[in-house]
Chain A
Amino acid sequence: MTAFINHFSFEFKTGLRNRNLLVTNYLLPLVFYVMMGFVMVEINPQFAAVLIPAMVVFTMMVSTMIGMPPPLTEAREGGVYRSYKINGVPAISILTIPVLTTVFHALIVSTIIALTGGSVFDGVVPENWLAFASITLLIGITFGAIGALIGVVSASTTSAVMLSQLIFIPSILLGGMMIPLEVLPESVRWLSALFPATYAMEAFNGLAYGRETIIDPAAAVTILGISMVLSFTLAVYLFNWDSHNSTRKGNPLLALLAAVPFVAGAVYIAL
């Protein structure tokens, strides 16, 4: 337990000490939130309806998918995991603790957004706060598991950033955060269903706000849950202590299996 506390405490502090992580954990989400609150709500008043959930999803994505993977890759490339291995730090801790601390940082920002979005920017507050909190936690851990998988399979920090952007940018455009899913042409909806942010927004809309949704919110939660388990299991399985060690358990392409729940969702929508 002491080891866990020490490890958690160190990783949490790293999220504040490391300038890149400070930007992705706090500065970028909060600045973007304030900007969207002032500008976007002014330009498009309907955005107020999704300001809070959209900014929470954005925060979770930036922290877990943009901020977290490069340091995981960098630590492996820099021989940090070799030091960890010879001192008995288990692989599961190396992956679990950064996910938990990153989600913890993102939860702090999400709480700020949830508590100020209504009063400061006239954002619509959730009808069901318990559902809102539960979904926030679920998407945090799911996105964290995906981020961990990206960090594990990336050969370098550059490829980690590229892989993260591959999910992040389309999620912003098609994930229901800027443009509601129901507004998208039907021919494009299946494409948006390939990205986890879509399910997060649908779960928020359906369960926390009681709105009509394109994807059944229970199905959205289920798909996120399956993705969480699948991504984390794959991250642990594919984890490599040392990039110079040719003996690894599986081919990094196995990571594509983590996309199966989303592909299934996209196929369902397309049909």
Chain B
Amino acid sequence: MNSSTIEVKDLRKSYDDLVAVNSISFTVGKGEIFGLLGPNGAGKTTTLECLEGLRQPDEGTMRIMGIDPTRVGRQLRNMIGVQLQTSGLPANMTVEEALKFFCAYHGVRPRYDLIDRLGLGEKLGSQYQDLSTGQKRRLALALAVAHDPSILVLDEPTAGLDVASRVELHAMMKELKENGTTILLATHDMAEAEKMTDSVAILLKGRIVSTGTVRDITAQGSGFTRVSVRTDESLLHEKGFEFPGVSQWMIKDDYSIYYTTDPGQTVTAIINTIDAHEDRLIDLRVERPSLEERFLEITDERN
């Protein structure tokens, strides 16, 4: 990575006897969307909170655009925007007051356009305590990006969001990335990570167990490609055909599903078999393993 925006080296943080983060290292390049993935309690939030300067690490070094977040506060605040997983605003603060309040502390004009875009335009006068969970998350996101930060940290950003808000959030993330914003995304939503990130690190029990692009990580697995076939007369259900490269076969929802290490040979053989038995192909899908499947595989291996 030529221009690392975020560098974490041998970061360790424990709470009494519990080691939440155990010597993890990673770098994030400028304009990259980097995903920190893992189940609850894996250490994602602790890692982010150390980077945000909310927690003091026990060991290791961190740099955000060359700045040590444990030492320099004010300078860092204007560089990064953070949507915390658990945070709050004063119950009586209205949406407009929150916008003015935080924009003033960042030294920028209030961004009413963001409030409108995130569907909070009609809620300007509503107090924080009267907003729904999704509206609170959207407000937190608006406040996180209102000062055009170079780095955006999102901790489980889609938790509590409806479908339309998720789509809007993802569109916003893409725009920010195109404008050069580096995004650090902590999530346990594998589909979101697969769709949005350039590279990821999978955390389990405080350690990084796999890192790289989604393609790299899925390729590190068992290497099986899934071939799903549906025919008019369900020929493949009835007879236990053998195809090259296939190690596992199952039937699910009218589909015969094959796990193969040689998808080209397998598909050719399946089509030939269907033709030879005068059945008719209705649907055929070739899918590489998803990040979620690879994640579950890694979790199983480690457990």
Binding site for B on A (CB under 8 A): 2-3, 5-7, 10, 13-14, 17-18, 75, 78-80, 82-83, 85-89, 241-242, 245-247
Which B residue sits closest to A75, measured CB to CB?
B90
Chain B hits for A89, CB < 8 A: 105
Chain A hits for B104, CB < 8 A: 2-3, 5-7
Task: Give the CA-CA distance A2 to B84 in the complex, in Å.
Answer: 25
A82:B56 contact, CB within 8 angstroms: no
From B15, B16, B56, B88, contact of A78 by CB (8 A): B88
Task: Give the CA-CA distance A177 to B210 in the complex, in Å.
Answer: 69
A85:B53 contact, CB within 8 angstroms: yes
CB-contacts of B100-140 with A (<8 A): 100-102, 104-107, 127, 140
- In angstroms, how far is the closest chain B Cβ from the Cβ of A227? 28
A87:B55 contact, CB within 8 angstroms: no
7 sampled A-B residue pairs with Cβ under 8 A: A3-B101, A3-B104, A6-B97, A6-B100, A14-B92, A83-B88, A86-B82
From A17, A18, A88, A247, contact of B56 by CB (8 A): A247
From B77, B89, B91, B97, contact of A86 by CB (8 A): B77
**What is the total of A-B residue contacts with beta carbons within 8 Å?**
79
A83:B105 contact, CB within 8 angstroms: no
Chain A hits for B3, CB < 8 A: none
From A6, A17, A80, A245, contact of B89 by CB (8 A): A80
A88:B15 contact, CB within 8 angstroms: no
Task: Give the CA-CA distance A18 to B92 in the complex, in Å.
Answer: 7
What are the 8 closest A-B residue pairs judged by CB atoms, nearest first? Answer: A88-B77, A3-B104, A79-B88, A78-B88, A79-B87, A83-B87, A86-B82, A6-B104
From B88, B97, B105, contact of A80 by CB (8 A): B88
B53:A87 contact, CB within 8 angstroms: no
Chain A hits for B127, CB < 8 A: 17
B100:A82 contact, CB within 8 angstroms: no
B89:A83 contact, CB within 8 angstroms: yes
- In angstroms, how far is the closest chain B Cβ from the Cβ of A250? 15
A87:B77 contact, CB within 8 angstroms: yes
- In angstroms, how far is the closest chain B Cβ from the Cβ of A14? 5
A245:B54 contact, CB within 8 angstroms: yes
Q: Decide if B143 is an interface residue (CB 8 Å cutoff).
A: yes
**Which of A13, A18, A82, A245 counts the most chain B CB atoms within 10 A?**
A82
From B16, B87, B143, contact of A82 by CB (8 A): B87
Q: Decide if B299 is an interface residue (CB 8 Å cutoff).
A: no
From A14, A87, A241, contact of B143 by CB (8 A): A87
Q: Decide if B165 is an interface residue (CB 8 Å cutoff).
A: no
Which B residue sits closest to A77, measured CB to CB?
B88
A87:B54 contact, CB within 8 angstroms: no
Chain B hits for A75, CB < 8 A: 88, 90
Task: Give the CA-CA distance A89 to B106 in the complex, in Å.
Answer: 9
Q: Decide if B93 is an interface residue (CB 8 Å cutoff).
A: yes
A3:B92 contact, CB within 8 angstroms: no
Given contacts A6-B101, A14-B90, A88-B73, 5 further A-B contacts (CB under 8 A): A2-B104, A10-B97, A14-B93, A78-B91, A87-B102
From B55, B74, B84, B90, contact of A88 by CB (8 A): B74
A82:B90 contact, CB within 8 angstroms: no
A80:B90 contact, CB within 8 angstroms: yes
A10:B15 contact, CB within 8 angstroms: no
A86:B52 contact, CB within 8 angstroms: yes
Chain A hits for B16, CB < 8 A: 246
B74:A85 contact, CB within 8 angstroms: no
B105:A79 contact, CB within 8 angstroms: no
A88:B101 contact, CB within 8 angstroms: no
Q: Decide if B213 is an interface residue (CB 8 Å cutoff).
A: no
- In angstroms, how far is the closest chain A Cβ from the Cβ of B206? 17
- In angstroms, how far is the closest chain A Cβ from the Cβ of B56? 5
Task: Give the CA-CA distance A5 to B97 in the complex, in Å.
Answer: 12
Task: Give the CA-CA distance A80 to B140 in the complex, in Å.
Answer: 12
Task: Give the CA-CA distance A88 to B105 in the complex, in Å.
Answer: 6
